[in-house]
């Protein structure tokens, strides 16, 4: 949220913004969140497969219909429109694309899984969330987090909702932060490769 505010108040060159985003977020994770980050994976093959499956779900509707994402349900004043945050010039910079992909694959999965499924799913159940074991199921927590996760993805709220349900289910199923981080990272890695290879920049909001 701080970076979004900084972008609107004092915009930085895109390369500088990507480097700053990676450096600051990595530092925060290392110095403040590292004690609670657990990278141990219990179900490696299943996590890899699930991550790829979510990627297919993410791009599927747009492969079936090129006009799908431009209907009123997904492009409006509330959800916004599919539009990349990368400028035309940045799309030809190998360094900037590598940094953007690294952010999506290495940092975002950790940050989002710490927030959505390691904290919020538990906090909704009980504000003293540390007393709630990871993966504890509560219908209210499950669906509130799925809905909020969907809203975070703007014009991609539909696939964001499906993804949120799958990720929430995987947390309940595995009770493992490491498994969630891996699934999320695989999805983002596949999506990043697809964005760069196919020029589908709109997926990088």
The alpha carbon of 140 is separated from its chain's Cα centroid by a whole number of angstroms, namely: 21
> For position 1, what pLDDT does the model report?
66
Distance of CA 156 to the CA centre of its chain: 12
pLDDT at residue 99, as a whole number: 93
pLDDT of 80 higher than 70: yes
Grouping H, G, I as helix, E, B as strand and the rest as coil, residue 135 is: coil
Q: What are the tokens at 105? A: 């694959």
pTM of the model: 0.92
Distance CA 160, CA 32 (A): 28
Other beta carbons within 10 Å of 22: 16
> Which of these, 117, 149, 112, 115, lies nearest to 134 by C-alpha position?
117
pLDDT in tens, 29-41: 999 999 999 999 9
User: Residue 4 above 80 pLDDT?
Assistant: no
Q: Are 182 and 47 in contact (CB under 8 A)?
A: yes
Segment 72-80 shows an average pLDDT of: 94
């Amino acid at each position: 949220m701080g970076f979004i505010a900084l972008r609107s108040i004092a915009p930085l060159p895109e390369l500088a913004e990507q480097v700053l985003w990676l450096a600051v977020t990595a530092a925060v994770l290392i110095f403040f969140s590292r004690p609670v980050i657990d990278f141990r994976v219990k179900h490696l093959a299943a996590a890899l497969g699930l991550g790829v499956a979510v990627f297919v779900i993410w791009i599927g509707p747009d492969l079936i219909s090129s006009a799908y994402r431009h209907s009123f349900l997904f492009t409006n004043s509330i959800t916004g429109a599919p539009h990349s945050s990368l400028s035309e010039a940045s799309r030809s910079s190998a360094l900037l694309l590598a940094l953007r992909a690294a952010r999506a694959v290495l940092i975002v999965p950790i940050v989002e899984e710490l927030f959505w499924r390691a904290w919020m799913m538990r906090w909704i159940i009980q504000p003293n969330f540390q007393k709630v074991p990871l993966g504890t199921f509560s219908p209210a927590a499950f669906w509130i987090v799925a809905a909020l996760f969907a809203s975070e993805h703007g014009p991609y709220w539909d696939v964001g909702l499906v993804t949120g349900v799958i990720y929430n289910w995987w947390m309940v199923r595995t009770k493992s932060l490491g498994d969630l981080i891996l699934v999320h990272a695989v999805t983002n890695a596949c999506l990043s490769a697809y964005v760069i290879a196919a020029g589908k920049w709109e997926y990088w909001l």
